[in-house]
Amino acid sequence: MAGHSKWANTKHRKAAVDAKRGKIFSRLSKDITMAAKAGGGDPDANAKLRTLLNKARAANMPADNIDRAVKKGTGELPGVVYEEFVYEGYAPNGVAVVVEVTTDNKNRAASEIRSTFTKRGGNLAGANAVAFMFNRCGQFLIAKDQTDEEKLMDVALEAGAEDIKVEDEGFEVLAPITEYDSVSQALSDAGIEVASSELAYLAETLTPIDDAAAAKSIMALIDALDDLDDVQNVFHNADFADGLLDDEE
């Protein structure tokens, strides 16, 4: 979720996702399988996998599910072949949307995403239609009780992070994609627990939204996309005015 406060939007998304625990387990399982396939099944040597395993345990994902997901990625267990795709489109009020998909059936995923955009007042667009409005980078959210700003700057910047933002709720660390693993490893080595970690599309060009009805229609599309089984992440460039999402949380 993008907007003027990543933390606020993350809390909204977490409230929605936590209500559907089966979906978050499925999402984590796919992520773990893909991470193990790409970087191996040893979390000590695979920073992305280690982060995902920590996230899975924090979500109380059963250990057997985690183990199966890793082994499917390493080939120790048979599993479906997943592919990753990115779709772009527009929500109501011209809000740009980027949808990350991990699926074993591209045709099904594309059909469901197109239908969801259409039914919710948006439209699916072609490749690079809105991606230029976003910065693809590594993003880490860290609660303030985990560290202080000086220590975080020393650890993260030394590991290759390019920016650290301080908000009321915590810290946001941004890093180039090429430095994602090294920053993740450095934070782990320093004992700094990460609340959220992902390769994100962060909006550089924002669309201000100050109308409650517009906010509701935009979030209806975002949430409907997020509910789809094949969808892993949804990013957008809506900048909601303070208080507009309070009823949604």
- The structure's pTM equals 0.83
Mapping DSSP onto H, E and C, the string for 192-235 reads: CCCCEEEEEEEECCCEEECCHHHHHHHHHHHHHHHHCCCEEEEE
For the cut 60, the answer to whether the pLDDT of residue 1 exceeds it is no
Helix/strand/coil percentages in the chain, nearest 5: 50, 25, 30
Specify which residues 241 forms β-bridges with: none
* 121-172 pLDDT per residue, tens: 999 999 999 999 999 999 999 999 999 999 999 999 999 999 999 988 899 9
E strand or H helix that includes residue 16: helix 6-18
CA triplet 223, 225, 229: central angle to 5 degrees? 110
pLDDT at 6: 57
Q: CA dist 129 to 116, 126, 191, Å?
A: 18, 6, 40
Q: What is the pLDDT confidence band of residue 247, given thresholds at 50, 70 and 90?
A: low
Whole-number Cα distances in Å, 184 to 14, 67, 161, 167: 21, 22, 10, 20
* Token pair for 242: 């303070």
6-74: CATH topology = Arc Repressor Mutant, subunit A (1.10.10)
E strand or H helix at 95? strand 95-103
Measuring CA to CA, how many Å separate 26 from each of 62, 96, 152?
Answer: 12, 26, 32
CA dist 143 and 147 (Å) reads: 8
pLDDT digits (tens, 9 = 90+) for 36-91: 999 999 998 887 888 889 889 888 999 999 999 999 999 999 988 899 999 999 99
Q: How confident is the model at residue 11 (pLDDT cuts 50, 70, 90)?
A: very low
pLDDT at res. 3? 40
The CB density around residue 57, as the number of other CB atoms within 10 Å, is 12
The Cα–Cα gap between 110 and 107 comes to 5
Residue 123 has φ and ψ, to the nearest 5°, of -155, 140
